[in-house]
């Protein structure tokens, strides 16, 4: 008996330990029960953990076995230390099982019910969010359909064009939006207006001009600026908004700086009525001989650029404007400037996938609103500039990278295109390649007529036209440019 008593004391001690653990466990359940969990995934994970902790089946199965072990301890006084250790562990499990058995009903009636309720709450929240999203998508689709049902083919074709105000007013520079603009936007109901430094005189004048042209347009417009910071910053240059240098100078200042810079530029231009920035630059300055991009790039390292651009996108959005990834498939490794002639990308497609595409893929995943095509000839893929290349615009950007948003061209008046093609040919080829928005053609009238003729002759189907118009209008509705 003397040899058995120490073992009984150990058993009692283990029981006391187990009771304390159960009490602490019960308190933790109460704390978890009262905690507000906003993140659904965190909520689901927490609930699953609690479910596992409170599972009774395994403990119940061990009950009989543990009681038998407890009896065997009394009969085996000369057991080895190794066996004692094992048996003591089993006593602890048995005691815990007994306590659990006693409290089983109470726990099941309270905590287990709470778990079930929490699971139901999580499921309801998931269902509600799904329903909310579904409802929102249905509302957006319904609003887009409502607009498209009222549009003529001509209005749909005009919606594809994004132009300088001078292209419709024939007044240079255009610095007001009055009767001339009202007449012009009715004649050419374009999808967007790009303002440059010469259009912006004062903050008050800019705000009034943008407000007026929006009020004249049957379908609200994208109002854009090239506001990258540094040497490309139209609003900053003309209206004296917050000075921000070229992005390359901030490459080692961290993600928060990338966010703050984008947010500041967005906030500044949004205050005048702009709703879209043709930024951030996703080109990586990987070729020291490159002058067209250079310090406009966020970095000379692909991974660093991709990370910084993710934060920039968030900054633009939080500042109140849409943003654009440019210039796909990547202008940072070229030696030539596409403003003045053909620019070549000599890397293989596999190299591009590993390097140049990275900032674009990350930017797309981060929710960028548009991707701008560069006039770049990728010799490993096509002899045509990317803007006119179905292989690059559709096969690679749309299909391979999975991008289903709005694709905008770089300016169609740049010499990389105009040296070799007419405005009419450029417009049709770019649209057939997969672009949705055709930016600043040399001749708006010729370009519109070319698309109209292509639709009339069935070279371009109405269904294909509608797909682009739907993408454009969907972005306008989702972003609040068009009410719904």
The one-digit pLDDT tens for each residue of the chain (484 residues) are 444 444 445 555 454 555 555 455 555 544 444 443 443 343 333 323 323 333 333 334 334 434 444 444 343 434 444 444 444 444 445 445 444 443 444 434 444 444 344 445 455 446 666 777 888 899 999 999 999 999 999 999 999 999 999 999 999 999 999 999 999 999 999 999 999 999 999 999 999 999 999 999 999 999 999 999 999 999 999 999 999 999 999 999 999 999 999 999 999 999 999 999 999 999 999 999 898 999 999 999 999 999 999 999 999 999 999 999 999 999 999 988 889 899 999 999 999 999 999 999 999 999 999 999 999 999 999 999 999 999 999 999 999 999 999 999 999 999 999 999 999 999 999 999 999 999 999 999 999 999 999 999 999 999 999 999 999 999 999 999 999 9
- Burial of 13-38, coded b for 16+ CB within 10 Å and e otherwise, reads ebbeebeeebeeeeeebeebeeeebe
CA distance 309 to 320: 17
Q: Is 339 a catalytic residue?
A: yes
Q: Is 410 a catalytic residue?
A: yes
pLDDT of residue 27: 53
CA distance 344 to 279: 22
Residue with tokens 């600026």: 225
- Each as own residue / partner, the long-range contacts of residues 201-210 (CB below 8 Å, 24 or more positions apart, any chain) are 201/175, 201/238, 202/239, 203/239, 203/271, 203/272, 205/175, 205/176, 206/235, 206/239, 206/272, 206/273, 207/271, 207/272, 207/273, 208/176, 208/177, 209/175, 209/176, 209/177, 210/177, 210/272, 210/273, 210/274
Read off the pLDDT of residues 14-25 as tens digits, 9 standing for 90 and up.
545 555 554 555
Read off the pLDDT of residues 373-420 as tens digits, 9 standing for 90 and up.
999 999 999 999 999 999 999 999 999 999 999 999 999 999 999 999
pLDDT of residue 16: 54
Domain parsing of the chain, residue ranges: 4-134, 151-478
pLDDT of residue 251: 98
Name the fold adopted by 151-478: TIM Barrel (3.20.20)
Let me know: does 159 contact 218? Beta carbons within 8 Å: no
Q: Catalytic residue among 337, 339, 395, 466, which? A: 339
Q: Is the pTM of this model over 0.85?
A: no
């Amino acid at each position: 008996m003397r040899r058995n008593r120490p073992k009984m004391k150990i058993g009692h001690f283990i029981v006391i330990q187990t009771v304390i653990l159960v009490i602490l466990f019960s308190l933790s359940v109460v704390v978890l029960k009262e905690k507000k969990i906003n993140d659904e995934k965190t909520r689901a994970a927490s609930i699953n953990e609690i479910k596992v902790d409170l599972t009774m089946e395994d403990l119940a199965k061990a009950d009989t076995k543990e009681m038998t072990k407890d009896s065997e301890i009394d009969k085996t006084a000369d057991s080895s230390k190794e066996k004692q250790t094992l048996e003591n562990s089993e006593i602890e499990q048995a005691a815990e099982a007994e306590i659990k058995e006693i409290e089983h009903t109470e726990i099941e009636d309270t905590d287990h019910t709470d778990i079930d309720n929490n699971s139901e709450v999580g499921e309801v929240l998931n269902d509600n969010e799904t329903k909310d999203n579904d409802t929102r998508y249905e509302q957006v689709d319904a609003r887009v359909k409502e607009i498209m049902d009222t549009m003529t083919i001509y209005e749909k074709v005009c919606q594809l064009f994004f132009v300088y105000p001078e292209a419709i007013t024939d007044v240079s520079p255009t610095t007001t939006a009055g009767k001339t603009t009202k007449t012009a936007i009715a004649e050419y109901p374009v999808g967007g207006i790009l303002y440059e430094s010469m259009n912006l005189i004062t903050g008050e004048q800019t705000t009034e001009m943008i407000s007026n042209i929006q009020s004249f347009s049957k379908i609200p417009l994208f109002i854009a600026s090239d506001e990258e910071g540094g040497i490309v910053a139209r609003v900053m240059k003309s209206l004296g908004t917050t000075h921000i240098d070229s992005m390359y100078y901030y490459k080692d200042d961290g993600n928060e700086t990338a966010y703050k810079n984008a947010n500041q530029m967005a906030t500044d231009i949004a205050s005048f009525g702009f709703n879209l920035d043709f930024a951030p630059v996703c080109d990586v300055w990987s070729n020291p001989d490159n002058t067209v991009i250079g310090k406009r790039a966020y970095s000379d390292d692909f991974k660093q650029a991709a990370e910084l651009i993710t934060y920039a996108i968030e900054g633009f959005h939080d500042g109140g404007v849409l943003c654009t990834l440019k210039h796909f498939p990547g202008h940072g490794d070229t030696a030539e400037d596409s403003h003045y002639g053909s620019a070549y990308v000599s890397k293989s497609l596999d190299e591009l996938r590993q390097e140049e595409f990275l900032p674009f893929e990350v930017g797309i995943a981060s929710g960028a609103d548009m991707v701008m095509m560069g006039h770049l000839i990728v010799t490993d893929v096509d002899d045509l500039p990317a803007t006119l290349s179905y292989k690059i615009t559709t096969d690679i950007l749309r299909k391979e990278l999975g991008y289903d948003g709005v694709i905008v061209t770089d300016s169609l008046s740049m010499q990389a295109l105009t040296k070799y093609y007419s405005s009419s040919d450029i417009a049709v080829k770019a649209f057939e390649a997969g672009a949705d928005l055709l930016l600043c053609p040399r001749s708006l009238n010729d370009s519109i007529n070319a698309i109209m003729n292509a639709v009339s002759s069935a070279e371009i189907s109405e269904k294909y036209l509608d797909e682009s118009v739907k993408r454009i209008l969907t972005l306008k509705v989702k972003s609040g440019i068009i009410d719904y």
